[in-house]
């Protein structure tokens, strides 16, 4: 049993680091304010730069333009990028979540039409799953899709949709049949953002960003060919997608975020007039320990995935530990730096507000604890829906 990455994976990581040293503007975060047109253009440029370098979608099969990267190379890539503070680009949802769905469940026409522009960084997609009454309990979604000849007519309301107000298209779950089991009768559809009847409004966040949107479908007509897989089979398809969302790659990204926080906080404290006393050393020591535990857990998750296990119970433990430690680290940081760290313009401001949503997105901390209590401790399942 080894808790180290293989030497070939480490060499691959070195190649990525060398490329980053040449390509990445280290001051980009100071230069571009999130959600501004300049920031969006910079992120799009980054997607194109990744494509030109051959890093567009390393884990896709080579027949679709990927590099057939192993699970280990895939996480090394995500980890090195996150540690360098590289932008994520706007293509990440499509590359990581939609593309595997199209490859496994889409038809040839869908793959041919959508995979090349996603790879080249020319098509931004948003994920339209959550609704006002369907977040943790996603299967309660109410947006409908009604078959009308060779078209599907969509009506409903999506919320918390990342990247939506500047996206080109949305992959969404809609209800195409009302059956006894609420997971049945859901379909996975592809919706152009400029289709008549689609309207999108930004949600202003507390930290000044506007990364999220509400999306309204008002009798939106899409060809029936925009359904991925069979009509009514969307829940099974969505589960493939969620598997990628909860896998080792995201675990390494989150552990890199914790590491980043510790390093930046240490630098901020050294640069400030805060006395590096026992209290500060205790706080930073605890954070560094949290980072090392997060990194080890990511390796465990990678190991179990390499053995062919789906990210299941272990991924709930990893997601809970990492997102809560990251959030807690930013609270500790605030105590150490003082209240001024929450003023706009202070580096801690963005860190502090960025860590909170991570405890909600991709399954909230309560949901992860429910999964752990039920599946690992064998306690009866809770009475509220949403943990399957
Ligand atoms: C930054 C961010 C980005 C997001 N991006 C997207 C996106 O691109 N596309 C998309 O579709 N969605 C997105 N979401 C939405 C996200 O998936 C939901 O917020 C999440 O699933 C929780 O749903 P909810 O907000 O409706 O809260 P609810 O499900 O209503 O939960 C409310 C509270 O009740 C708790 N709770 C719920 N069920 C249980 C239970 N069974 N047991 C115990 N406690 C429970 C929750 O933990 C929470 O504290 C994003 C969210 C965030 C924060």
DSSP letter assigned to residue 233: B
pLDDT band at 303 (very low <50, low <70, confident <90, very high): confident
Does residue 214 fall inside a structural domain?
A: yes
Does residue 193 fall inside a structural domain?
A: yes
**362 Cα: distance to centroid of ligand 1 (angstroms):** 7
pLDDT higher at 34 or 324 = 324
**323 Cα: distance to centroid of ligand 1 (angstroms):** 14
Residues 325-361 have pLDDT tens digits of 889 888 888 888 888 888 888 888 888 998 999 999 9
| Structure confidence at residue 105 (pLDDT) | 95
What is the helix (H) or strand (E) element at residue 259, kind and residue range?
helix 248-271
Return mean pLDDT, the chain: 90
Q: Which of 126, 128, 131, 135 to mutate to test the pocket of ligand 1 (most atoms within 8 A of CB)?
A: 135
CA dist 207 and 352 (Å) reads 9
Q: How many domains does the chain have?
A: 3
Residues 49-97 have pLDDT tens digits of 999 999 999 989 999 999 998 888 888 898 899 888 899 899 989 998 9
User: For the chain, what is the radius of gyration of the CA atoms?
Assistant: 21
3-class SS of residue 217: strand
Active site residue 112: no
| Residue 204, pLDDT above cutoff 80 | yes
| Residue 311, pLDDT above cutoff 80 | no
pLDDT band at 3 (very low <50, low <70, confident <90, very high): low
Does residue 96 fall inside a structural domain?
A: no
366 lines ligand 1 (CB under 6 A): yes
Residues 252 and 369 in one domain: yes
The domain boundary, picked from 200, 232, 264, lies at 232
Phi first, then psi, for residue 55 (nearest 5°) are -100, 10
Does residue 300 fall inside a structural domain?
A: yes
- Is ipTM beyond 0.95? yes
pLDDT higher at 195 or 73 = 195
Q: Minimum mean pLDDT among 220-224, 241-245, 349-353: which range?
A: 241-245
* 227-228/212-223 β-pairing: unpaired
The stretch 170-182 carries a mean pLDDT of 96
Q: Which domain holds residue 11?
A: 7-89
Measured by CA distance, the residue closest to atom 1 of ligand 1 is 357
Does residue 101 fall inside a structural domain?
A: no
| Structure confidence at residue 261 (pLDDT) | 80
Q: Which of 254, 361, 379 to mutate to test the pocket of ligand 1 (most atoms within 8 A of CB)?
A: 361
Query: Which atom of ligand 1 lies closest to the CA of 133?
Result: 26
- The answer to whether residues 325 and 315 touch, using CB atoms and an 8 Å cutoff, is no
Residues 259 and 359 in one domain: yes
Catalytic, out of 83, 214, 245, 295? 245
Does residue 106 fall inside a structural domain?
A: no
Measured by CA distance, the residue closest to atom 15 of ligand 1 is 160
Does residue 116 fall inside a structural domain?
A: no
CA–centroid distance for 387 within its chain: 19
Structure tokens at 296: 């080890």
386 lines ligand 1 (CB under 6 A): yes
3-class SS of residue 328: helix
Measured by CA distance, the residue closest to atom 32 of ligand 1 is 136
- The answer to whether residues 255 and 288 touch, using CB atoms and an 8 Å cutoff, is no
| Structure confidence at residue 208 (pLDDT) | 85
**361 Cα: distance to centroid of ligand 1 (angstroms):** 6
């Amino acid at each position: 049993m080894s808790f180290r990455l293989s030497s070939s994976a480490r060499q691959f990581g070195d190649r990525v680091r060398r490329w980053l040293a040449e390509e990445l503007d280290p001051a980009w975060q100071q230069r571009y304010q999130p959600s501004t047109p300049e920031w969006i253009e910079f992120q799009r440029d980054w997607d194109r730069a990744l494509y030109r370098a051959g890093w567009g979608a390393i884990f896709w099969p080579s027949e679709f333009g990927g590099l057939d990267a192993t699970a280990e190379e895939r996480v090394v890539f995500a980890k090195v990028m996150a540690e360098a503070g590289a932008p994520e680009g706007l293509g990440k949802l499509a590359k990581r979540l939609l593309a595997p769905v199209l490859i496994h469940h889409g038809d040839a026409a869908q793959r041919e039409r959508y995979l090349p522009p996603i790879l080249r960084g020319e098509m931004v997609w948003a994920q339209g799953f959550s609704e006002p009454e369907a977040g943790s309990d996603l299967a309660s979604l109410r947006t409908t899709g009604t078959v009308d000849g060779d078209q599907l007519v969509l009506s409903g309301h999506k919320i918390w949709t990342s990247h939506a107000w500047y996206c080109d298209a949305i992959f969404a779950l809609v209800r195409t049949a009302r059956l006894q089991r609420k997971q049945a009768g859901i379909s996975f559809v592809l919706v152009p953002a400029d289709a008549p009847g689609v309207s999108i409004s930004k949600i202003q966040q507390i930290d000044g960003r506007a990364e999220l949107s509400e999306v309204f479908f008002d009798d939106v007509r899409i060809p029936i060919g925009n359904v991925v897989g069979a009509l009514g089979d969307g829940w099974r398809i969505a589960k493939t997608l969620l598997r990628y969302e909860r896998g080792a790659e995201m675990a390494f990204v989150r552990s890199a975020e914790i590491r980043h926080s510790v390093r930046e906080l240490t630098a901020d404290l050294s640069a400030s007039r805060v006395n590096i006393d026992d209290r500060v050393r205790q706080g930073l020591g605890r954070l560094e320990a949290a980072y090392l535990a997060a990194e080890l857990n990511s390796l465990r998750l990678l190991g179990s995935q390499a053995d062919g296990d789906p990210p299941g119970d272990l991924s709930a433990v990893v997601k809970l530990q990492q997102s809560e430690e990251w959030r807690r680290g930013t609270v500790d940081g605030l105590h150490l730096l003082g209240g001024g760290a929450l003023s706009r313009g202070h580096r801690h401001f963005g860190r502090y507000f960025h860590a909170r949503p991570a405890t909600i997105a991709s399954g909230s901390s309560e949901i992860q604890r429910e999964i752990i209590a039920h599946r690992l401790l064998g306690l009866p399942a809770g009475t509220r829906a949403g943990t399957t």
